[in-house]
Structure 1
Amino acid sequence: MLEMQVYELGWNWNDFSQLAQGTLAGHLLECGCQLTGGYFMHPGMPYITAFLTKVCVAKAEGSRGLLNNSTCAQQLLYEVGDPSSYITPDVVIDLRNVYFCPLSNDKVLCYGAKPSSVQFPDKLLQLVPVVKLLVFQDCGWKGWGEISYGGFGCIRRAEAAEYLVCY
């Protein structure tokens, strides 16, 4: 995600302010269905429009789901241990001053990510057991997935998910 923004917007790999903003976009889309209310029902299909200092997250026109400040904030904090120094492979960023500004029912402007003042945190060397790694080799087809439902209507949502998977 970040590489595309660097290329398309002509960013410099040494400009950590730009990299922080681009990383914000990638982090929000990491689990894109959650960004558009996937924990609810019928998530939208999210995408971003990147600008030099801001990112607009949106969902496909006519798609279902929910995209608002709350879903953006929920996704922003997903898997973030320390918002002042969120460690990614490209840059360590500070998410404490990220703001969300709704533009419409399907679009939210996001800005405020910046480079962390701690570019090499002590815990960097402790990442090996917790960093996600995705390796792919085409050996046929097999799928596996898991999700938990909680809150109001959780049984109905779980039964709907079961129906979609089984039928």
Structure 2
Amino acid sequence: MEIRLSGVVNDSIVDGPGIRLTVFTQGCPHGCPGCHNLQTHDYQGGYIGDTDLILSALAENPLLDGVTLSGGEPLDQPLACKHIAHGAKNLRLNVWAYTGYLWEDIIKKGDSKILELLEQIDILVDGPFQTNQRSLELLFCGSKNQRIIDVKKSLKTKHIVLWEKEYK
């Protein structure tokens, strides 16, 4: 399946716990001032990749703990990201995703394709990067307004459950 990418980073240690393959999707509507991935904003930028090649890279690296969907805005390519997430789950890897959207807005919108993607995600870091709340002391977030959400528990309880650090 095609996916528009900015890039793929193997062996990342900053986009979630453990060693991860991070998929940077191309295209982002948020335009957060101070964003460190400005090159990912243009929806016509980057390049067309293949989700099966990403899944092959996941399968070939026995050191990986998981995959991270980042961006750009991965929720804007829900079918391709779901394909990657589902494949990662089949490999017994955990799946993290970063979004500039808020959890409440995602759920309220009720887009079936995005909700199906969420079902494949373990942890979602939500919210736009905000320069005035930037902190280098945060684990896996860029600004204090962002939340690290346990997706499975949040979907089950129908309210936001934040991630606890002992997650593997």
Shorter-chain TM-score bucket reads: under 0.3
Q: TM-score, normalised by structure 1?
A: 0.27
Give the TM-score normalised by the residue count of structure 2. Answer: 0.27
Q: Which has the larger radius of gyration?
A: 1
The structure with the largest strand share of the pair is 2
